[in-house]
Structure 1
């Protein structure tokens, strides 16, 4: 059929109840929509079939990952438009079910079915994880971690840069370098934990060993880092050996639940707790509490979602769950603090780094886009597209206050009540 772009544009307007502020270019070369807007490229009819068979976020994600859809122009502007029209409209405006009661919309959908071609559901891209049940067993957690982190160390070197830190940086100014901001974040964690020479630090979810190296090198502590990723552990051990710190740093492929060699003076958990899950979270907090000596500190850095009026109706992000973090679950900050307190911790400080994570993600996206072809060769085109979309979308989510990230400092306070923390906590003395 000729002029597919106009047909798609008209149906989008019917479904949304408002003009689509994106330009559409379809597989037949036709175009429709504002000429100066970012362009949504619909490469083939399969993209339309994906949306028909799975309306909403997951259908869009499948089309994007498979390369059936693309965006030309400002990716952030396009995603911001889609977020406002789809996700935020669904939360407070007319949903798809209500729209389909409109006879004009139903007629448009019938036209879309004819436009899409043979009514067969396309197979999901191979990057999609299926049968996600959020069991959070040792086996399922290891499988989920492998899906996300065993993509290839060279791929992550492109995205993260030389620091190899895969969590929110700490920015002094927006024009600072990513390397400087990540150095400052690692040092902030060490200072909040009040690390001192020859203390024992447990780094839960140690990644490629950057925090372990920083703590051993700069603060003279002895570090045990645990990860479920074989690829992370291999590179972390090499980095430790290259710096001559094998007598100070041990990297294990081990589940945090199997760490039993406490007591530790401090525990860091930076960007790991999102993988724990709602139901096992209290067990996680209690286990870390038991691994600390009395007076020991936990620094827990964790992404948080905003609370919902109806918490029972909350469901995980379909795209993130299917392609990025299988079995990942976000909790509101208040829930996390409550669980830490239930486990026996005294929460002494909470610092929001929401804007810091938005800046970090924009730098990661820029790194990926600067070396996109090599990234696609290393991880595969679909996986590279997943990472570009999820990091850009998450940057906007932090900027729009849809999600946040917090560093929570908690202490295993002795029975005497003596916390050994300074009266002015935010000075973070060395």
Structure 2
């Protein structure tokens, strides 16, 4: 009987220095490992070549997206079991140079190389974005946004559902509906901004227009929404027209840095600031500050990562950077607050919604699975696999407190003057 899976499992465990908590199923049909656990399916030798030529997360991801590597069983369970080996080792984990000095590791690599065969791996999947530097110029940001958001509105309708809101919802109970939770999130933002009829709202990174439509329809404000995605803008304009709000909502394909028709009474930035970049963040904050009237409010809704011992270098997840959000950067919440304050804002409230994003991603993942065949047809099998992995891994990252998301409410407080905030501010809850 073939023992490929047993040999493969043994070499991987020797390489990692820990037992594999999942089954292994090899290309010859053999299996090894806990029978009740999900199976890591190594469909061909190319998977090994991809991983050996690009050790770490990116090699694994390339094999997954190309279809050389798969999971048989619940994806969330498999990733949760593997998290301790792949993601939870943190800054104290051995680097590659240190690891290969270990004779056991070198022997395992040689064994895997013999199983992989002599051929080099094929090129990376076509879905991978490759560039030399993270510039965050207007041109590079437009390309990055187009890569992620111009996948097709039909595809996003599958994933996001009718609300077409691409940021975490605000849940009352875990068994609520995604639509109710997204409506409640938009209303929460409007209440934090204290929107009143006749005011002007700038929605930075307006997406498919959900916030703009909600604020104009429910609170009577005039809205300017800006996005770099042509497909988003076309969809949002159609929604605005269908709602009869064209006299109150303007959707532009425009970089936030090019908005010059302030001042605005309020600014919402929901799930957009992750695209700004650490080097540009202070400019982003100063630009929004300049666009607000004295006393105006900013609601900045942004994903955060934990701080690291060394914050001097560029830090990004290689999978997310290459396949999901090119040039996206996460910062600790303390850094975000500091930059907003440096720009002149008075930060009045910070609310963590970490668990809310995990629930939201689980719903998006379920939507994708429910229409998997259509999603593959719309966007291609590689891109569909990117999204399946991205949403499942992100949900677990929020659940395990690997990343968080926060709403920061800040005010352009007049000097001297008062913020205009009530003494007991959290009346929006």
2:62 is equivalent to residue 62 of structure 1? yes
Q: Distance between the aligned counterparts of 2:318 and 2:134, measured in 1?
A: 13
2:320 is equivalent to residue 295 of structure 1? no
Partner of 1:330: 330
**Pairwise CA RMSD:** 1.4
Kindly state the Cα deviation for residue 120 of structure 1 after the two structures are TM-superposed. 1.1
Kindly state the Cα deviation for residue 350 of structure 1 after the two structures are TM-superposed. 0.5
Residue pairs, 1:12-51, within 5 angstroms? 12-51=12-51
Larger displacement relative to structure 2 (330-339 or 100-109): 100-109
Distance 1:334 1:247, change over 3 A: same
Partner of 1:353: 353
2:22 is equivalent to residue 10 of structure 1? no
Kindly state the Cα deviation for residue 132 of structure 1 after the two structures are TM-superposed. 4.6
2:111 is equivalent to residue 114 of structure 1? no
TM-score (norm: length of structure 1): 0.97
Residue pairs, 1:261-280, within 5 angstroms? 261-280=261-280
Larger displacement relative to structure 2 (75-84 or 239-248): 75-84
Q: Please list the CA deviations of residues 49-97 of structure 1 after superposition, one character each: whole Å capped at 9, or x if unmatched.
A: 0001001100001001111111111211111122211222353344544
> Which runs of no fewer than 5 residues in structure 1 stay unpaired?
none
Partner of 1:183: 183
Contact 1:150 1:232 in 2 (8 A): yes
> Which runs of no fewer than 5 residues in structure 2 stay unpaired?
none
Contact 1:296 1:411 in 2 (8 A): yes
TM-score (norm: length of structure 2): 0.98
Q: Distance between the aligned counterparts of 2:99 and 2:249, measured in 1?
A: 58
Contact 1:113 1:119 in 2 (8 A): no
Partner of 1:89: 89
Q: Distance between the aligned counterparts of 1:104 and 1:67, measured in 2?
A: 30
Q: Which runs of 4+ in 1 moved over 3 A?
A: 90-99
Contact 2:21 2:82 in 1 (8 A): no
2:150 is equivalent to residue 164 of structure 1? no
2:378 is equivalent to residue 369 of structure 1? no
Contact 1:15 1:96 in 2 (8 A): no
Kindly state the Cα deviation for residue 8 of structure 1 after the two structures are TM-superposed. 1.2
Kindly state the Cα deviation for residue 230 of structure 1 after the two structures are TM-superposed. 0.2
Secondary structure at the aligned position of 1:312 is classed as coil
Q: Distance between the aligned counterparts of 1:58 and 1:122, measured in 2?
A: 14
Q: Distance between the aligned counterparts of 2:66 and 2:308, measured in 1?
A: 32
Contact 2:301 2:407 in 1 (8 A): yes
Number of matched pairs: 429
Contact 2:315 2:329 in 1 (8 A): no
Residue pairs, 1:387-426, within 5 angstroms? 387-426=387-426
Q: Please list the CA deviations of residues 139-179 of structure 1 after superposition, one character each: whole Å capped at 9, or x if unmatched.
A: 00000000000000000000000000000100000000000
Contact 1:204 1:268 in 2 (8 A): yes
Secondary structure at the aligned position of 2:20 is classed as coil
Q: Distance between the aligned counterparts of 1:307 and 1:117, measured in 2?
A: 41
Kindly state the Cα deviation for residue 2 of structure 1 after the two structures are TM-superposed. 4.3
Secondary structure at the aligned position of 2:407 is classed as strand
Q: Distance between the aligned counterparts of 1:333 and 1:21, measured in 2?
A: 34
Contact 1:320 1:326 in 2 (8 A): yes
2:384 is equivalent to residue 384 of structure 1? yes
Q: Distance between the aligned counterparts of 2:146 and 2:164, measured in 1?
A: 17
Larger displacement relative to structure 2 (416-425 or 312-321): 312-321
Kindly state the Cα deviation for residue 420 of structure 1 after the two structures are TM-superposed. 1.2
